[in-house]
């Protein structure tokens, strides 16, 4: 077997030395506090059966022709799904991508032009950053949720087209920006506001429509990016915006043009999952109740100082040190709870954390127990040394 080049081997060795080497593993027989399946829809027999029924009733071949949607991959269920999603999100149009990563890379690499400026929150997801790196526009980050800092950057770079980029729920901290204030700043300087709602879909709003729409602010946002692999429990993503924006992305977003489209089965699953959101409120309500219970319990147990403030399904307890946080995560696994350690360099050194993801299917007893164990593991440690 041919060995890796020395520079590559050295990078892997450095990860091992820093206790930050990423590895794949399977979770079996543990209580889920780790996945992004907030509503449990990836496990839904109802959605599975309804998708199969939809394909049969509409005489759609499940596999279908493969290829770019500009060639052989644009089967008719795409139009049905995009029309329904656009209506659901009160948007003029919707364009489905294969993943949230593809959507962000396609959007940010193609839309901002040379001479334009992108101002993005410093905690934006890697997929946004990767898309920005592929863009011909200049880009600067602003301090997390600090719109005074954003305004300073705008004032230094006026007389150009400016895109302002944030997330409605941040994937590591689980916190949310003040969208009303951000929109006020964006409107004041005629900026184009882009909001990634990957972790808000299914979580915020009466029907899980996301934070922007829950606040009735969709008319002030240039583009929203919804990812389906979290709250919707399936593959894909969508960019919401004007019909002209959709036309532009079809023509210039390389991650849309040069890739095989999703199968009819995948797109039908997206449509059925959205119909479920539109018609069934119970899962979203249970999730909201669990978020409230989690926040109440961490106060009662004196654990609030450990946590980043969050009212979302993502709750992060800061426990500095890769070895320390990995050891506590291992103890959770041994007690039957799947809680993930987030290590540096994924987060900055000193900001290592346990990331608790809440779901509609978690019981209040499970939430109380996992937080009680956290108190024991943090304040009465036995399995690790500083």
Helix 264-279 × helix 77-88 angle, to 10°: 30
| Fold classification of 28-42+281-379 (topology level) | 3.90.1150
> Strands (DSSP E) along 143-279, which ranges?
162-167, 192-196, 223-227, 237-241
What is the rounded average pLDDT of the residues 183-187? 98
Name the residue with tokens 């949720």: 145
What is the rounded average pLDDT of the residues 200-222? 97
What is the rounded average pLDDT of the residues 208-212? 97
Q: What is the pLDDT of residue 62?
A: 61
Mean pLDDT of the chain: 94
* 236: CB partners within 8 A, 6+ apart: 96, 97, 98, 99, 227, 228, 229, 262, 266, 267, 270
pLDDT at 384 over 60: no
* pLDDT band at residue 386 under the 50/70/90 scheme: very low
DSSP state, residue 5:
P
Sheet holding 353-357, edge to edge: 314-318, 353-357, 340-342
- pLDDT tens for each residue of 277-298: 999 999 999 999 999 999 999 9
Q: Quick check: 366 and 320 in contact, CB under 8 A? A: no
* pLDDT band at residue 90 under the 50/70/90 scheme: very high
What is the rounded average pLDDT of the residues 101-114? 98
pLDDT at 64 over 80: no
* pLDDT band at residue 382 under the 50/70/90 scheme: low
pTM, to two decimals = 0.93
Q: What is the pLDDT of residue 381?
A: 67
Which of 23-37, 53-67, 79-93: highest mean pLDDT? 79-93
Which has more pLDDT, 382 or 368?
368
What is the rounded average pLDDT of the residues 196-201? 97
Least confidently predicted of 29-33, 121-125, 214-218, 224-228? 29-33
Q: First-to-last CA distance in the chain?
A: 39
Q: How far apart are CA 277 and CA 245, in angstroms?
A: 26
Q: What is the pLDDT of residue 25?
A: 77
Count of other CB atoms within 10 angstroms of residue 343: 23
Give the burial class of 364: count Cβ atoms within 10 A of its Cβ; 0-12 exposed, 13-18 middle, 19 or more buried. middle
Cα-atom radius of gyration of the chain, to the nearest Å?
22
pLDDT at 365 over 90: yes
Write down the CATH number for the domain with range 60-279: 3.40.640.10
Q: What is the pLDDT of residue 385?
A: 43
What is the rounded average pLDDT of the residues 200-219? 96
pLDDT at 247 over 80: yes
Q: What is the pLDDT of residue 27?
A: 74
Q: How far apart are CA 254 and CA 179, in angstroms?
A: 30
Count of other CB atoms within 10 angstroms of residue 376: 13
Q: How far apart are CA 273 and CA 41, in angstroms?
A: 7
pLDDT at 43 over 50: yes
Domain boundaries, the chain: 28-42+281-379, 60-279
For residue 175, which of 103, 128, 124 has the smallest C-alpha distance?
Answer: 124
């Amino acid at each position: 077997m041919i060995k890796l080049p020395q520079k590559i081997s050295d990078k892997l060795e450095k990860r091992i030395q820093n206790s930050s080497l990423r590895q794949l593993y399977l979770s079996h027989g543990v209580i889920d506090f780790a996945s992004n399946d907030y509503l449990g829809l990836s496990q839904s027999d109802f959605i599975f059966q309804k998708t199969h029924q939809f394909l049969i009733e509409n005489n759609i071949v499940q596999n279908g022709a493969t290829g770019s949607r500009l060639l052989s991959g644009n089967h008719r269920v795409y139009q049905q799904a995009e029309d329904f999603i656009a209506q659901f999100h009160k948007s003029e149009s919707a364009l489905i991508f294969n993943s949230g990563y593809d959507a962000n890379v396609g959007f940010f690499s193609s839309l901002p032009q040379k001479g334009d400026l992108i101002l993005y929150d410093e905690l934006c997801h890697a997929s946004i950053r990767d898309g920005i790196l592929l863009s011909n526009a200049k880009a600067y980050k602003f301090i997390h949720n600090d719109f005074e800092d954003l305004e300073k950057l705008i004032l230094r770079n006026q007389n150009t087209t400016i895109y302002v980029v944030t997330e409605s729920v941040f994937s590591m901290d689980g916190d949310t920006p003040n969208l009303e204030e951000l929109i006020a700043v964006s409107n004041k300087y005629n900026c184009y506001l882009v909001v990634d709602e990957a972790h808000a879909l299914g979580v915020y709003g009466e029907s899980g429509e996301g934070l922007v729409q829950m606040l009735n602010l969709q008319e002030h946002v240039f583009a929203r990016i919804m990812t389906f692999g979290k709250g919707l429990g399936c593959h894909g993503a969508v960019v919401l915006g004007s019909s002209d924006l959709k036309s532009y992305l079809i023509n210039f977003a390389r991650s849309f043009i040069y890739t095989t489209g999703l199968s009819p089965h995948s797109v039908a699953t997206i449509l059925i999952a959205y119909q479920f959101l539109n018609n069934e409120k119970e899962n979203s309500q249970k999730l909201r109740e669990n978020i409230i219970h989690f926040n109440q319990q961490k106060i009662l147990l004196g654990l609030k100082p450990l946590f980043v403030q969050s009212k979302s399904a993502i709750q992060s307890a800061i426990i500095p040190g890769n070895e320390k946080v990995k050891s506590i995560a291992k103890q959770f696994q041994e007690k039957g709870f799947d809680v993930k350690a987030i290590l540096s360099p994924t987060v900055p050194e000193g900001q290592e954390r346990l990331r608790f993801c809440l779901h509609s299917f978690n019981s209040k007893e499970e939430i109380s127990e996992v937080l009680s164990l956290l108190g024991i593991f943090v304040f009465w440690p036995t399995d690790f040394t500083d």
